[in-house]
Structure 1
Amino acid sequence: MIRLQSKPIASLAEARKQLQTAIGVEFGTLPPYLYALYSIPPGQNLQAAERIKSVAMQEMIHMCLACNILNAIGGEPALKPPKYPGPLPGDIGPPGGKPLKIRLYPFSKEAMAQGMAIEEPMDGPIDFPDKPMLKAGKSETVTIGEFYTRLDAYLATLPASDWHAGRNQIDDNQYFMGQLFDVNGYPDAHKAIEQIISEGEGASNSPLDFQQEVAHFYRFEEVFRNQVLTKDPNPKGYAWTGTLGVDWKAVYPAIIDPASHDFSHDPPAARAAQKACDAAFSRMVRELQLAVTGHEGHLGLAVRAMFDLRMAAHVAFTTPLADPKKVAGPSFVYKPGAWK
């Protein structure tokens, strides 16, 4: 059971601080999810790749919605890429334990288990047939869903004068049609928070989100189990059946946590591949930062930079290191000016 450190919200300043933490968590999940996704060779593990990709895209949407809420209450979103390995904002981790060290794993059971840990539902995973799991009790720490629920409860108390309609909002006129929207007051913020919680962990007593699609936690579990969660006439309503055709060996032989690797002894091509990855990621961060602070048109440039990152990652994953049996994907290190 992985949870965030959370404090009661007693002021607008504290709400802004908590929203910044939420933004950091949403943004911080992108690199580990993308590293696992990009490490799958073209044409391999297609169903697994589609599930991971859908989660990553929704995490970007969640980040933008959280930024819209923060902008609407007068805050200034700041995108600060975490270091990997390392903790996410909010010190996500087990109750009473050390913060979880988020790592960049290539496509593997370890990568899926980490995703499940991050996305775990508020009341624990639903115990579908053939998968007994323990539910966690209450503690001073909270799941991501509970974290957002507390934010929602405080935002509901704010007077209309604390909301700033139209301030630095990101809409869906470029990408993510129907999923991004302006936050101009509490009703919009509540809608955004409900979407974030539902897509991450599912609706109450259901593995499905508000769009009737499998929530993030269960998408990762499908891949981890190599099974499909389908409707079933049992009391839980769903059961594990079939297969996704997962082949854990059909993955590039990538190292874990490339930021911890010393590339100085690797071939020039491997170093050049890392430089290209750093440039694309840094450009993506820069464009996202501009997008969430009111610069129109930059969300599209950020999405384009993400595509560039995927192309650079493909080169990196197919370029041998000094050990010819190993490769390294993008380290997701932000370097100011690297995009020039």
Structure 2
Amino acid sequence: MNDRIIDSIEQLHYMLEAAIQLEHATIPPYLTALYSIYPNTNLEAVATIRAVLVEEMLHLTLAANVLNSVGKKPDLTKRGFVPNFPTFLPDGETDFKVSIAPFSPETLETFLNIERPSKMSDTGPRSNFCKGCIPCSNVDKFELSAITPHQGHNYRFYSIGEFYDAILEGIEFLEAEAKASGSTIFVGSSHLQVSNAYYYSGGGEVIEVNDVDTARKALELIKEQGEGHGGSIFNSEGEISHYYRFEQLKMGQYYQVGDQPGQPTGERFSVNFEKVYPIKSNPKLSDYPLESELYRAARLFNQNYLKFLALVTEAFNGNQNVLLGAVCDMFRLKEGATQLIRNPIPNQSHINGAPTFELYNVSQELSQVQIDVQEALS
């Protein structure tokens, strides 16, 4: 029985688009949790979430380079790209929801679930299913195309790392087939590859993709930065993975080189979950009175977030020079977010607003956003 997920270039395109969608799906929750923290408090948490956000942008860029290399251009502005929060992401043992929510012990636990290392063995419960998958009877509630294999209806990936393993296996299979007939799947223009000249991340470098080896390096870097590689806390460059960064916040103690998972021995610090604004979890525009300042601020934030996605799409489609600015724009969204996060919702005591990320409600404004982007490029 063929246990590959990917048997055609169309399926590969589908899975790589899903990878971009999945990497992006972490950004709204991380941004909201970051900006919910009181100014000048929880410095360790702020530094951690900010560093992870920068690396998620790197992962977006790496996945886009792989997709461009095999002849398909990314589009982060299409309807449905941003999920309707709360949304489900894969977890091998139980399902968990990813929410727009304040920084809290529960939110931190969700972040750990998102980034967690795979713990399954090759002889585990996935053995009767396609590689990297486990049985799933409730797949209908998953909204992101990254959750379910393209072919399947009753199974899903155990971990994000195994999701990328399945993509790499498909790349290797399809390229071997292409080479046997004297061709290649790497038909994308090299001019679409984002390089280090246009992107900077303290936690890793952009990899330009043009063959199996560079595709493997790009996908392995995503895995290594997210869950850690082979259970390692630190990579070869001494950088700590996202999962263990978040675990430090849970334990209130830093890892040092040589430590074992779950047993940090570094400097202790405190995390104060009381120093957080009481924002509404998973807010919708309908939660804000129509003529209120919060409603207008939420609409404006959504428009600006759509513009941010449009800029990133332009960068992945040949205008690479806008990418550095787009990364900065992600953090410039703070002003709009804090207008919501630091103000109470009218007629709701002790509950503040938050961004809604309901981009489908501003999709009719995409034309104006694209005009604004073109003006920014000129």
Q: Is the TM value for this pair above 0.5? A: yes
Structure 1 consecutive aligned stretches of length 4 or more whose deviation exceeds 4 Å: none
- Alpha-carbon distance, 1:149 to partner: 1.4
Could you tell me which residue of structure 1 aligns to residue 40 of structure 2? 43
Could you tell me which residue of structure 2 aligns to residue 245 of structure 1? 270
CA distance in 2 between counterparts of 1:138 and 1:117 reads: 19
Letter of the 1:263 counterpart: Y
Could you tell me which residue of structure 1 aligns to residue 152 of structure 2? none
Letter of the 1:209 counterpart: N
Q: Secondary structure at the match of 1:87?
A: strand
CA distance in 2 between counterparts of 1:280 and 1:49 reads: 23
CA distance in 2 between counterparts of 1:172 and 1:138 reads: 41
Letter of the 1:264 counterpart: P
Q: Secondary structure at the match of 1:272?
A: helix
Could you tell me which residue of structure 2 aligns to residue 105 of structure 1? 101
Instruction: Give yes or no for the alignment of 1:15 onto 2:15.
Output: no
Identity of aligned residues (%): 29
Deviations 1:225-249 (A, max 9, x none): 222223457xx48723443320010
**Change in CA separation of 1:109 and 1:68 when aligned onto 2, cut-off 3 Å:** same
Instruction: Give yes or no for the alignment of 1:117 onto 2:103.
Output: no
CA distance in 2 between counterparts of 1:181 and 1:16 reads: 19
Could you tell me which residue of structure 1 aligns to residue 333 of structure 2? 309
Could you tell me which residue of structure 1 aligns to residue 306 of structure 2? 282
- On the 8 A contact 1:18/1:151 being kept in 2, the answer is yes
CA distance in 1 between counterparts of 2:39 and 2:13 reads: 41
Q: Secondary structure at the match of 2:97?
A: coil
Counterparts in 2 of 1:121-270, with a 5 A limit?
Answer: 121-123=117-119, 137-139=124-126, 140=134, 141-157=157-173, 158=175, 159=179, 161-164=184-187, 165-176=189-200, 179-231=205-257, 236=260, 239-241=263-265, 242-259=267-284, 262-264=287-289, 268-270=292-294
Letter of the 1:220 counterpart: F
Deviations 1:100-128 (A, max 9, x none): 4321121111111111111111227xxxx
Residues 300-309 or 251-260, more deviating: 300-309
Root mean square deviation, CA, Å: 2.7
CA distance in 2 between counterparts of 1:244 and 1:110 reads: 19
- Alpha-carbon distance, 1:181 to partner: 3.0
- On the 8 A contact 1:105/1:111 being kept in 2, the answer is yes
**Change in CA separation of 1:315 and 1:210 when aligned onto 2, cut-off 3 Å:** farther
- On the 8 A contact 2:5/2:170 being kept in 1, the answer is no
CA distance in 2 between counterparts of 1:319 and 1:144 reads: 36
**Change in CA separation of 1:237 and 1:52 when aligned onto 2, cut-off 3 Å:** closer
Could you tell me which residue of structure 1 aligns to residue 84 of structure 2? 83
**Change in CA separation of 1:76 and 1:175 when aligned onto 2, cut-off 3 Å:** closer
- Alpha-carbon distance, 1:29 to partner: 0.9
The count of corresponding residues between Structure 1 and Structure 2 is: 318
**Change in CA separation of 1:251 and 1:63 when aligned onto 2, cut-off 3 Å:** same
Structure 1: gaps of 5 or more residues? 1-5, 125-135
Q: Secondary structure at the match of 2:184?
A: helix
Normalising by structure 2, report the TM-score.
Answer: 0.77
- On the 8 A contact 1:195/1:210 being kept in 2, the answer is no
CA distance in 1 between counterparts of 2:327 and 2:231 reads: 34
CA distance in 2 between counterparts of 1:23 and 1:10 reads: 20
**Change in CA separation of 1:327 and 1:225 when aligned onto 2, cut-off 3 Å:** same
- Alpha-carbon distance, 1:216 to partner: 0.7
Residues 306-315 or 159-168, more deviating: 159-168
Q: 2:324 aligns with which of 296, 300, 321?
A: 300
- On the 8 A contact 2:285/2:298 being kept in 1, the answer is no
Deviations 1:264-295 (A, max 9, x none): 26x72222321232122111111112222223
CA distance in 2 between counterparts of 1:146 and 1:307 reads: 30
**Change in CA separation of 1:27 and 1:176 when aligned onto 2, cut-off 3 Å:** same
- On the 8 A contact 1:287/1:298 being kept in 2, the answer is yes
Residues 108-117 or 147-156, more deviating: 147-156
CA distance in 1 between counterparts of 2:100 and 2:237 reads: 29
- Alpha-carbon distance, 1:260 to partner: 6.9
- On the 8 A contact 1:281/1:333 being kept in 2, the answer is no
Could you tell me which residue of structure 2 aligns to residue 71 of structure 1? 68
